[in-house]
Structure 1
Amino acid sequence: MTTIKPLTDLTIAQQAEMLPIKQIAEKLGLKEDDLDLYGKYKAKLSFDLLDDVKTRTDGKLVLVTAINPTPAGEGKSTVTVGLGQALNRLDKQAIVCLREPSLGPTMGLKGGAAGGGFSQVLPMEDINLHFTGDMHAITAAHNTISAMLDNHLHQGNDLGIDVRNIVWKRVLDLNDRALRNVTIGLGGPVHGVPREDGFDITVASEIMAILCLADSLSDLEARIKRIVVAYDRDNEPVTAEQLGAAGAATLLLKEAFKPNLVQTLEQTPALVHGGPFANIAHGCNSLIATKTALKLGEYVVTEAGFGADLGAEKFCHIKSRIGELSPDAVVLVATVRALKMHGGVAKDALHVEHVEAVKRGLQLLAKHVETMAKLGLPVVVALNRFNSDTEEELAAVLDWCRSQQIRVALSEVWAHGGQGGEALAEAVIAAVESNEAALTPLYELTASIEDKITTIAREVYGASDVTFTAKARKQMAHIQANGWADLPICMAKTPFSLSDDPTKVGYQAGFTVTVRELKPSVGAGFLVALTGNVLTMPGLPKQPAALNMGIDATGNAIGLF
């Protein structure tokens, strides 16, 4: 008897028929002169186009977020892509906006970020690997500043930089725990000034956040100039502009700043651009891509990283503020599998029906719906179906949502592409056309740093209190003294829990959040509040995904999901 192997994401992607990217551009009313081609199936949008469309009326903006992620996977990117495809099936000109995958998670544990099943962006292999080189450009721009900083020290240190107070590390777009803490400049005087240093992953770089929040090349350079790289012996900030490094860094980012145009498996246009992490940065695709898509499409479907307590909160308080955006609806992705895990079921028992655990997990879903309502945004729950879900478990979620007057739809976009997302698309259209959306930030920028953080912790996480370490309070005073206190807050917190403890899954209330450190990202335009043990350079797992990767005799990728 022949065993039929299930199709993998890679197999589905390799069997798909792509249209030349020029034809995808034509769907948006674009011409070849509006594109900078990167082969047959990828292109960047030209600077002339970005300027030409600025005066057009915006389309509708749909933000896709989720409940707190679990090791079982929720499929947020898959739902984002599938929803875009479904909207096009319903004659709405839709554009999908996603972040670019990082090689670190791709080679590590998390996997890529190109969707899955029959709701993927293509060419999937390119997007998950080197794509158009944006990640490498960001790495080079960041490390150019690093090299110029150390050269400044070597050449006499005219700025009086305190080598014990340098805050600008180096970056690499791979998971490599051995590089978290290193010593550089060894080997004698000709090799530089010895000091402790370290590496972050590229997507944690402030350069990445800046590229994703700048609205023009001039704004990009202005933000890079404001980057604080170190402090001098009087504890005054030293910037990239003072090092003379901003111009070169901006030059390296010139092409990377242009949004990347690709397509979904059903030839829906997609802009895949930028990729800041959502636990240590703001977790959204580039502002320039989102704003351009709004000028080109009737509906723009974008996502924010991790759960609503991280990516969606930051989308509303950081990206929307800087870019003057206002989502017309929010899609909140949930799965039976994740609800069961948040309801107390172990990952290896998820295949066993457990309706009561699903119901316990609904408390967490309710909290995220409540948070979006506080922000003034209408919510549609997308129940993303997996093969192991039973009808009783699915019904428990659907019935509960309806009893709470929450819009809900079953999503089957992984298995059926756009067709499997039509019910979700109809619910999203209804939410958008209800005109209920009125984005209302939960805090004013002029509030104190402590009040802004406390508001997020209480209103979004459900915490009862926030404590600040002595180090954090000292840094808070320093931030205020430098005039940076009016910046929005970017919380660095575990994505797996509402609290700052990753082991406390499911609905949490009445806990205390501890802020251990505050870091100003002056160029990006936010203050990072670090809680728990959030790493800026991940490590590889015992069995990294890279072990399964390679190429076949014809050069096709194998083992890439």
Structure 2
Amino acid sequence: MAFKSDIEIAREANKKPIQEIGAKLGIGSEHLLPYGHDKAKLSQEFINSVKDRPNGKLILVTAINPTPAGEGKTTTTVGLGDGLNAIGKKACVCIREASLGPNFGMKGGAAGGGYAQVVPMEEMNLHFTGDFHAITSAHNLLAAMIDNHIYWGNELDIDTRRVTWRRVLDMNDRALRDVVTSLGGVANGFPRQAGFDITVASEVMAILCLATDLADLQKRLGDMIVAYRRDKSPVYARDIKADGAMTVLLKDAMQPNLVQTLENNPAFVHGGPFANIAHGCNSVIATTTALKLADYVVTEAGFGADLGAEKFMNIKCRKAGLAPDCVVLVATVRAMKMNGGVAKADLGAENVEAVQKGCANLGRHIENVKSFGVPVVVAINHFAGDTEAEVDAVREYVASQGSEAILSKHWADGSRGSADLARRVAEIAEKGEAQFAPLYPDEMGLFEKIETIAKRIYRADEVLADQKIRTQLKEWEAQGYGNLPVCMAKTQYSFSTDPSLRGAPTGHSVPVREVRLSAGAGFVVAICGEIMTMPGLPRVPSAEAIRLNDAGQIEGLF
């Protein structure tokens, strides 16, 4: 049986005008700013008008550590949203926007897959409504204004060796990780070492995703530390007088984007920080607004639960006053086999023993998520080659961990395939048994917070950090930043910082290479192991297969 590609399915979608989708959530067409016929931004006026309504139930979808076999976290998020609507619940999906870097690199897009997709798929995976371009422009405006300030006399006495604000680009480009700027003589400024990060790692992206409105956005942008003086005192973006112009560039980007699933259910797609190098959740403004408009909001956190869910709980929920009612942990039989030592080429053959062996990774995530006081359901995202014995092996393992696993066939069957999962999730959420609490208190020291995550979530024996890093953390505490949460920048492929170490490793160390203060976003980033804040393209990038066909349609996106 030949399966249609994601893009073929998306192209055949029977989309409804975006005003009809908004009406499902009680949004009048006057509050929608349309971008074509099938996507729109939601007005701040409407967002303000619903702030006092009670919240619906919040469902977080997370996953095991990603493998080349694929897990389908976004697909499950969308499928569950459709499933909840199909069983009579008023549900809305909240996911992140796609970054061009991984789209043209190795990972592909971020709109779901099969018959559990958000559309328009092509636009969502490309320029969409221009939010990422606005973030890139705002970030780089600040970079230009810093260098310009230094060029015209450096009134703030910035130490040019201590400019911490790098530039960004929404593309994987390893050649730009470390660069020298301002070469070419006096007219071009003072030469210095600099570099680029990918846009989704920008603090501006994090701020957009954590800000509650435009006033909060501008305050946070102004709070960003961009450089230090010779006496090591910080220079803020507001000192450069960039915060106002940056807010103007981000005015429209701050408004959540409304689109639809293949089954014409509402979905907010807004913001997109990576989970391995940033906090990995869609915007607070989209999630909190959706909770006022729907009885159920299904959202996702990036990569495995050791990254995405941990940051969702410790950063996003802490900052926004949110508490999930249920967590859905996505796993696949294929990924269990890979964690059990099976090569990708051999995944088609039944191997119950490898499934059982690989379940240790799943068990670790179940235990971790439960430690936040939230009930967990495992969604087995079904692939056509899965055998009954393999599915049963996962079910039995999950039951032995005090949870339950439900087979979900949303990729092939849409909401019909996810109805069982939707019913169970609704039952759990409506029981109201969640007793959510973050992993550590605000007042814990910064290094102790890093240690807490490394030991309790990653199961590391120790955190390795040289004296320079420990001193830096102490200095930030002395400056009043000690109560901030930490955002771990770490490989997504393993609980450890070694991407090749699958399963549930113990006895490892977490080396912290660098720490960065995101004072505007409100967290401290700990960069661990070999993680890069500017990824590179793989040997054969996806871009090689992306093209327009004779009918002018896009081919090769996935």
Query: Helix, strand or coil: the match of 2:239?
Result: helix
Q: Which runs of 5+ in 1 are unaligned?
A: none
Which amino acid letter does the alignment assign opposite residue 62 of structure 1?
I
Matched, 1:144 2:133: no
Which amino acid letter does the alignment assign opposite residue 142 of structure 2?
I
Matched, 1:34 2:31: yes
Query: Helix, strand or coil: the match of 1:325?
Result: coil
Counterpart in the other structure of 1:274 = 271
Matched-pair contact (CA < 8 Å) for 2:328–2:379: yes
Matched, 1:178 2:175: yes
TM-score, with structure 2 as normaliser: 0.99
Query: Helix, strand or coil: the match of 2:496?
Result: coil
Query: Helix, strand or coil: the match of 2:480?
Result: coil
Counterpart in the other structure of 1:398 = 395
Counterpart in the other structure of 2:284 = 287
Deviation at 1:5, TM superposition (A): 4.6
Matched-pair contact (CA < 8 Å) for 1:379–1:431: no
Query: Helix, strand or coil: the match of 1:241?
Result: coil
Question: Size of the alignment, in residue pairs?
Answer: 558
Matched-pair contact (CA < 8 Å) for 1:475–1:517: no
1: CA distance, partners of 2:148 / 2:235? 15
Matched, 1:309 2:306: yes
Counterpart in the other structure of 2:210 = 213
Matched, 1:551 2:548: yes
1:130-209 alignment to 2 at 5 Å?
A: 130-209=127-206
Matched, 1:296 2:296: no
Matched-pair contact (CA < 8 Å) for 2:395–2:404: no
1:51-66 alignment to 2 at 5 Å?
A: 51-66=48-63
2: CA distance, partners of 1:323 / 1:480? 23
Matched-pair contact (CA < 8 Å) for 1:471–1:516: no
Matched, 1:428 2:425: yes
Equivalent of 2:385 in 380, 384, 388: 388
1:114-513 alignment to 2 at 5 Å?
A: 114-513=111-510
Distance 1:194 1:377, change over 3 A: same
Deviation at 1:438, TM superposition (A): 1.1
Larger mean CA deviation between 325-334 and 490-499 belongs to 490-499
Deviation at 1:555, TM superposition (A): 2.3
Larger mean CA deviation between 329-338 and 355-364 belongs to 355-364
Query: Helix, strand or coil: the match of 1:527?
Result: strand
Cα displacement string for residues 82-102 of structure 1 (whole angstroms, at most 9, x for unaligned residues): 000000000001100000000
2: CA distance, partners of 1:526 / 1:557? 39
2: CA distance, partners of 1:542 / 1:317? 36
Equivalent of 1:111 in 108, 117, 134: 108
2: CA distance, partners of 1:181 / 1:357? 42
Query: Helix, strand or coil: the match of 2:327?
Result: strand
Matched-pair contact (CA < 8 Å) for 2:167–2:196: yes
1: CA distance, partners of 2:401 / 2:489? 32
1: CA distance, partners of 2:121 / 2:555? 12
Which amino acid letter does the alignment assign opposite residue 418 of structure 1?
S
2: CA distance, partners of 1:504 / 1:400? 21
Cα displacement string for residues 242-299 of structure 1 (whole angstroms, at most 9, x for unaligned residues): 0011110011000000000000000010000000010111100000000000000010
Matched-pair contact (CA < 8 Å) for 1:282–1:314: yes
Cα displacement string for residues 84-127 of structure 1 (whole angstroms, at most 9, x for unaligned residues): 00000000011000000000000110000000000000000000
Deviation at 1:398, TM superposition (A): 1.2
Larger mean CA deviation between 28-37 and 200-209 belongs to 28-37
Matched-pair contact (CA < 8 Å) for 2:447–2:470: no
Cα displacement string for residues 456-509 of structure 1 (whole angstroms, at most 9, x for unaligned residues): 111111122222222311221221232211100111111111111111111112
Larger mean CA deviation between 389-398 and 546-555 belongs to 546-555
2: CA distance, partners of 1:110 / 1:556? 21
TM-score, with structure 1 as normaliser: 0.98
Which amino acid letter does the alignment assign opposite residue 156 of structure 2?
L
Matched-pair contact (CA < 8 Å) for 1:469–1:514: no
2: CA distance, partners of 1:87 / 1:119? 13
Query: Helix, strand or coil: the match of 1:461?
Result: coil
Query: Helix, strand or coil: the match of 1:111?
Result: coil
Deviation at 1:516, TM superposition (A): 2.1
Root-mean-square deviation over aligned CA pairs:
1.0
Matched-pair contact (CA < 8 Å) for 2:464–2:510: yes
Cα displacement string for residues 533-561 of structure 1 (whole angstroms, at most 9, x for unaligned residues): 11011111111111111112332111112
Counterpart in the other structure of 1:89 = 86
Matched-pair contact (CA < 8 Å) for 1:64–1:301: yes
Which amino acid letter does the alignment assign opposite residue 104 of structure 2?
M
Larger mean CA deviation between 403-412 and 258-267 belongs to 403-412
2: CA distance, partners of 1:468 / 1:186? 34
Deviation at 1:192, TM superposition (A): 1.8
Matched-pair contact (CA < 8 Å) for 2:361–2:502: no
Deviation at 1:407, TM superposition (A): 2.3
Which amino acid letter does the alignment assign opposite residue 97 of structure 1?
C
Query: Helix, strand or coil: the match of 1:541?
Result: coil
Q: Which runs of 5+ in 2 are unaligned?
A: none
Counterpart in the other structure of 1:72 = 69
Counterpart in the other structure of 1:10 = 7
Large movers: runs of 4+ above 3 Å: none
Matched-pair contact (CA < 8 Å) for 1:471–1:517: no
Identity %: 56
Which amino acid letter does the alignment assign opposite residue 546 of structure 1?
A
Larger mean CA deviation between 408-417 and 80-89 belongs to 408-417
Which amino acid letter does the alignment assign opposite residue 463 of structure 2?
V
Distance 1:516 1:268, change over 3 A: same
Deviation at 1:528, TM superposition (A): 0.6
2: CA distance, partners of 1:404 / 1:516? 35
Counterpart in the other structure of 1:522 = 519
Which amino acid letter does the alignment assign opposite residue 206 of structure 1?
E
Which amino acid letter does the alignment assign opposite residue 9 of structure 1?
D
Matched, 1:44 2:62: no
Which amino acid letter does the alignment assign opposite residue 95 of structure 1?
C
Larger mean CA deviation between 432-441 and 371-380 belongs to 432-441
Deviation at 1:520, TM superposition (A): 0.7
Which amino acid letter does the alignment assign opposite residue 443 of structure 2?
T
